Every structure is written in structure tokens, then in C-alpha cells.
């Protein structure tokens, strides 16, 4: 059988190649350079594009989403209001990776507490209470400096020499430093604006090393921190402790923690916390907490207490506010009624 001849396909299209046979070269798109946050040794300006495009590592939480590594803060409150209990609880919480008042670190962190005034025995008793309340043994990575352990006068952080002596004690891997309190460590310094610059330099130096420093300071009769208010300018947060008389647990240590400055937090995160240290005969003390009432809610409570015949002093003590604040609320009520 003879082979069939191939029949040309009339529908096949033929192309004529014109021009060069090689594909034209295309410029490859340049990948944008990635910038990582790293301080320069010298002062430099950066463009807005570089600043926005710089990758910043996520913050390392010390107290949940509220306090991170590399921050500066202040903790204020009246004398005898429970500041030491509160700060020791925060220190043990961060060092042992326990939660206190609903928040805690992502892992155990190294903590240093510089105590400038409390006696050794009292500090020992309070530390035992706090560790028991948080259900942990005293953490080894929590280091404390107590004045009774030093046969001399503690150095002042208001001087360069004093700062150097303290810095020599602080381990390189420290994550959190608590200074209790500002007045004790400011010996020879000025509580007003002129004496803050040397403190500010010391704080910023530790912040650059990735450490968080919290200063403990007393409030005056008006409820504000003593001395110059410009200390808050370089701080990331300020928490004010306000003692409260808890009618459900008379005699128990109770206070509200209120954020008076929190540049890193959203509004819904800045809510007051009411903390109570409950004494229990069988197991010892334990912390309980709840969301504290807002100012509007306090005003309503104040009105109800006044209707019950309570005096302004009693109302102020129950609500954990100054007598002048209660007086201002009632004057506002009188003005609204006119």
C-alpha cells in the first residue's frame, strides 16, 4: 500500500520573524532595602521614608501588654498607702513569671529593687507575704539592695559618683529596675526642676540598654507627686496608687491603680484596677482584683453616701479620693441645680 502524501494545512498561519531573535532586556525591579532599628553612634538625620520603613522588633512584655522592656515609668502614692506591697508584688510577678492583677510577663525576667528606706525585717516580712500571695518561692533572679545590709550611708543617685556605684551593682542582664523611693535616693539633690536633669540622664542610659526603670515617689496632700511635674515629660507612663476603704473586706489593704500617663496604650487599655490583699487564715494572703469604678461612677456613689448621712471626710476615705475632690463634686451639683 502506497504511503499517503502529506496534505498541506491551508488553515495553518505562518509568521515572519522580524528584528532581533533575542528577547529585549528588562530592568529588574530593585528590592527596597530593609532597615532595622539600631541606634547610631553619631547624630544623624533619616528620611521620613526610612523612618516609616524601619522594622522595629516587638516589645518584650514585663506586665502583660501594659509595661514592656525599655520603658521609663513612675509609681506615685501617699505614705502608708501600700506602694511597697504593690511594687514588691510587681517585682515578684516579673521575676517568677506569675500574674498579678490580671497581667504578667511572657517569661521570667531579671529584676533589681533598690530599696532606700525600709528596715530589713519589715522588708523580709513583706516579701514573704507577697510571694505567698502569688503562690511562688522567693525568686533567685530578683535581687534587692536594702540599707540595713550596708554599713554606711547609701550613695545618692542625684550625683554622678552615686550613680556609678549603683551601676556597678546592677547585672548586665537586668530587665527591670525599681527605685524605692525617689526622695531617699535623691539625697542632696533638688526635688524641683533643676535637680532632675542628672536623674534623667541616668534613666535614659538604662533605657538605651533595654531596661525598664520604675521610680517610686510620694504624693502630696493634693494627690499629685511632690516636686516638679516636668519629671513626667521623659516618662512613658505614670501610675497613681489611691488607697480605698473596702467595705466588703474591712481592714484589708485595698487601693486603686490609675494611669495618669500612658503614651503607649489605647484608651480601652487605660482602665483603673482595684486590688485587694485578702488575709486568709488557712493559706495566708492572696490578691484579688477587679475593674475600679470610674470618676463618673464615684460621683454617683458619693451622692448616695451623702444621702445616707455620711460626712465628706468619710466619703473621701471610702472612695479613695481627696476631701477637696468630694467638695468639688458637690459644688458642681449645687451649680447645676441653680
Percent of the chain with pLDDT over 90: 56
Q: Is 329 within 8 Å of 299 (Cβ atoms)?
A: yes
Distance CA 117, CA 126 (A): 14
CATH architecture of 61-292: 3-Layer(aba) Sandwich (3.40)
Q: What is the pLDDT of residues 86-137, one digit of tens each?
A: 999 999 999 999 999 999 999 999 999 999 989 999 999 999 999 999 999 9
Cα first-last separation, the chain: 122
The structure's pTM equals 0.79
Q: Is 175 within 8 Å of 110 (Cβ atoms)?
A: yes
Locus of grid cell 498579678? 100
**Mean pLDDT value across the chain:** 86
- The conformation of residue 51, written as its DSSP 8-state character, comes to H
What residue spans define the domains of the chain?
Answer: 61-292, 298-337
Q: Is 257 within 8 Å of 238 (Cβ atoms)?
A: no
Q: What is the pLDDT of residues 34-62, one digit of tens each?
A: 667 788 889 999 999 989 999 988 889 99
Q: Is the pLDDT of residue 32 over 60?
A: no
Q: What is the pLDDT of residues 243-258, one digit of tens each?
A: 988 767 888 999 999 9
Average pLDDT over residues 155-184: 96
What confidence category does residue 15 fall into, taking pLDDT thresholds of 50, 70 and 90? very low
Amino acid at each position: 500500500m502506497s504511503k499517503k502524501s502529506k496534505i498541506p494545512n491551508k488553515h495553518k498561519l505562518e509568521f515572519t520573524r522580524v528584528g532581533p531573535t533575542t528577547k529585549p532586556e528588562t530592568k529588574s525591579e530593585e528590592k527596597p532595602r530593609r532597615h532595622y532599628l539600631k541606634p547610631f553612634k553619631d547624630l544623624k538625620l533619616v528620611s521620613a521614608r526610612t523612618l516609616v520603613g524601619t522594622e522595629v522588633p516587638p516589645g518584650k512584655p514585663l506586665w502583660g501588654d501594659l509595661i514592656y522592656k525599655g520603658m521609663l515609668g513612675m509609681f506615685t502614692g501617699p505614705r502608708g498607702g501600700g506602694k511597697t506591697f504593690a511594687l514588691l508584688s510587681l517585682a515578684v510577678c516579673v521575676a517568677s513569671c506569675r500574674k498579678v492583677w490580671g497581667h504578667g510577663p511572657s517569661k521570667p525576667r531579671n529584676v533589681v529593687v533598690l530599696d532606700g528606706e525600709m528596715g530589713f525585717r519589715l522588708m523580709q516580712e513583706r516579701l514573704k507575704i507577697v510571694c505567698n500571695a502569688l503562690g511562688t518561692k522567693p525568686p533567685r533572679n530578683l535581687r534587692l539592695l536594702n540599707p540595713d545590709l550596708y554599713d554606711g550611708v547609701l550613695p545618692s543617685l542625684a550625683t554622678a559618683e552615686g550613680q556609678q556605684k549603683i551601676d556597678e551593682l546592677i547585672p548586665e542582664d537586668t530587665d527591670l529596675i525599681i527605685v524605692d523611693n525617689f526622695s531617699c535616693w535623691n539625697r542632696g539633690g533638688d526635688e524641683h526642676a533643676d535637680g532632675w536633669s542628672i536623674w534623667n540622664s541616668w534613666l535614659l542610659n538604662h533605657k538605651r540598654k533595654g531596661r525598664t526603670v520604675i521610680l517610686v515617689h510620694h504624693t502630696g496632700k493634693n494627690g499629685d507627686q511632690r516636686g516638679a511635674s516636668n519629671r513626667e515629660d521623659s516618662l512613658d507612663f505614670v501610675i497613681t496608687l489611691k488607697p480605698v476603704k473596702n467595705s466588703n473586706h474591712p481592714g484589708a489593704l485595698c487601693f486603686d491603680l490609675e494611669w495618669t500617663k500612658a503614651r503607649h496604650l489605647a484608651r480601652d487599655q487605660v482602665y483603673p484596677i482595684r486590688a485587694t490583699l485578702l488575709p486568709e487564715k488557712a493559706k495566708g494572703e492572696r490578691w484579688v482584683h477587679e475593674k475600679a469604678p470610674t470618676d463618673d461612677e464615684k460621683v454617683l456613689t458619693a451622692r448616695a453616701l451623702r444621702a445616707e448621712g455620711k460626712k465628706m471626710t468619710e466619703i473621701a476615705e471610702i472612695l479613695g479620693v481627696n476631701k477637696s475632690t468630694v467638695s468639688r463634686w458637690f459644688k458642681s451639683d449645687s451649680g447645676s441645680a441653680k
